[in-house]
């Protein structure tokens, strides 16, 4: 189905893990590949973002930072899939958020809808990193989408062939992206998004196990 330009949405996907075989990155790619035709997701790798240094924050910053900031500005919302490291946020993800947060209280993240998804091998699914990320984004004046939290525990058991294969979890995560786009429409004063019946996914009335 052809989607008119004014009904399209652009998402930015960020992974909280840099390793090649990352489950977080694989889940992000699975989400991207299963979005409805009105949504496109660009995944920007954070590998080359240097450590934040205010002395180097001139203009749009070092080249990888400028790319990140441009992508943040251009998107309708950000999807983050991240592991928990030592009960908190992976350092490079916090670092990227710090770059994208400047100038303080008026950076590209201001008013940006954010969907946080956390993963872990443990059954806790990175719940502590989820809470940390919410706290961090409250300082950047971003709009973390309220409602059900996407927390994926025992992640390895839900992956197959480099994809998120657990259908209930995939639908739950995709539905949460739909909720984020409702928030994006509110922020932008756009008409509420209408999802044609042909694109509708099964709704879960409770989070998957």
Q: Which of 13, 83 has the CB closer to ligand FMN?
A: 83
Distance in angstroms (rounded) separating the CA atoms of residues 14 and 81: 7
73-95: b (≥16 Cβ within 10 Å) or e: eebbbbbbbbbbbeeebbebbbb
Using rule CB under 6 A, residue 30 touches ligand FMN: no
Using rule CB under 6 A, residue 19 touches ligand FMN: yes
In whole angstroms, the minimum distance from the beta carbon of 57 to ligand FMN comes to: 27
| Of the candidate residues 9, 13, 14, 24, the single one contacting ligand FMN (CB under 6 A) | 24
Q: Which of 121, 134 has the CB closer to ligand FMN?
A: 121
Closest by CA position to 84, among listed 34, 134, 120: 120
CB contact at 8 A, 36 and 199: yes
In whole angstroms, the minimum distance from the beta carbon of 204 to ligand FMN comes to: 23
Residues that bind ligand FMN (CB under 6 A): 17, 19, 22-24, 83-87, 119-122, 124, 126, 155
């Amino acid at each position: 189905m052809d989607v008119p330009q004014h009904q399209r949405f652009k998402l930015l996907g960020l992974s909280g893990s840099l390793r090649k075989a990352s489950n977080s990155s694989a889940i992000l790619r699975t989400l991207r590949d299963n979005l409805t035709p009105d949504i496109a997701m660009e995944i920007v790798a954070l590998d080359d973002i240097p450590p934040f240094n205010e002395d180097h924050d001139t203009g749009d910053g070092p080249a990888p930072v400028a790319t990140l900031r441009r992508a943040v500005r251009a998107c309708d919302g950000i999807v983050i899939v991240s592991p928990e490291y030592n009960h908190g946020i992976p350092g490079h993800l916090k670092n990227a958020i710090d770059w994208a947060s400047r100038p303080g209280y008026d950076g590209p993240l201001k008013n940006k809808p954010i969907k946080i998804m956390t993963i872990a091998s443990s059954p806790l699914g990175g719940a502590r990193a989820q809470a940390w990320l919410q706290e961090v984004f409250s300082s950047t004046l971003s709009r973390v989408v309220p409602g059900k939290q996407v927390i994926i525990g025992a992640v390895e058991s839900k992956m197959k062939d480099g994809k998120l294969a657990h259908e209930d979890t995939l639908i739950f995560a995709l539905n949460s992206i739909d909720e984020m786009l409702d928030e994006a429409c509110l922020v932008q004063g756009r008409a509420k998004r209408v999802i044609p019946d042909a694109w509708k996914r099964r709704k879960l009335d409770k989070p998957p196990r």
